[in-house]
Amino acid sequence: MEGLCNLTRKVQEKSPLKYLTVRRMVCLDPSVMYRDPERCRNHIKGLVQRFLPDKQITDTSAGDVILQQFDSLLSLESRKLWAFYKKLLILSQCQATVERGFSINKEVESDNLQEDNVVTRRLVCDYIIQHGGVTKVPLSKPLLASVARARTRYRTHLEKRKNRDAKDQALKRKETEDCLQELKVKRRRVQEVSEGLARDADRLAEVAEGKAGSKMADLISRSNLLRRDHEEKLAELALLDKEIAAKNAELRS
């Protein structure tokens, strides 16, 4: 129950109904206008008074006209009132233009469409909409000349992209080769350390055979420690071999 109360509280905090202006807009509801016209008059009066300081209404006389026309809402003479209604109703639709833009973007999208193509198609759509349709777009000389050179520009674009991809591929290969070289150098160092640990462990074990008591135990313990380090280096060598093999495969691909 507490969770439901918290959820309701959050919804109320985010809801536009917490604003007095929004709550007063109930006067636009025809059913409320029919049931309680006096309440609607009070609400529309409060809305007009709220809009006057923000200069959303030109002057007090315009507000008086709106209040006078409210009683004859269905009259053809209520133009100022309808204009005021539009301002009220647009409060909840301030993002409508942006949302329509999203819809247009969705229409021009297709599989594997790159960002530049989306932008270009959107520019074309906006230009067509600006002129009122495809058949109303003016075929000016600059437009016709641009269309005539379109194939040449496209080939130039493909050539530039090909060169750019080749440079990127060469750079990537160079980075892989450098990384492979570093791995090989690291492997040689690890192998040298591993072989040294193995030799030292064998030497200590041989020396321990000629000793007795605590001296022998100490030498054997040191030999075992070196052998454990040797095994760790062998495991590290195995990982390096896998990385080297992966880099070689990447270069061959």
* pLDDT score for 90: 62
**Cα separation of the two ends of the chain:** 61
- Residues 66, 48: contact at Cβ < 8 Å? yes
CA distance 217 to 227: 15
Structure tokens at 47: 């809305």
Structure tokens at 98: 């942006």
- Residues 43, 26: contact at Cβ < 8 Å? yes
Flag residues of the chain having pLDDT under 50. 74, 76, 94-102, 104, 108, 111-112
Within 13 Å of residue 239, how many CA atoms lie on the same side as its CB?
Answer: 8
Which candidate, 48, 85, 50, 42, places its Cα nearest to that of 63? Answer: 48
CA distance 51 to 21: 10
Structure tokens at 123: 């520019």
* pLDDT score for 251: 83
* pLDDT score for 135: 84
* pLDDT score for 45: 85
Residue recorded with tokens 């058949």: 135
* pLDDT score for 99: 46
* pLDDT score for 216: 82
Which candidate, 185, 183, 197, 199, places its Cα nearest to that of 231? Answer: 197
* pLDDT score for 76: 46
User: Is this prediction's pTM over 0.85?
Assistant: no
Which candidate, 73, 12, 83, places its Cα nearest to that of 40? Answer: 73
pLDDT tens figures, 87-105: 666 655 544 444 444 454 5
Residue recorded with tokens 């059913």: 31
Structure tokens at 239: 């990982």
Which amino acid belongs to residue 119? V
CB atoms within 10 A of CB 30: 10
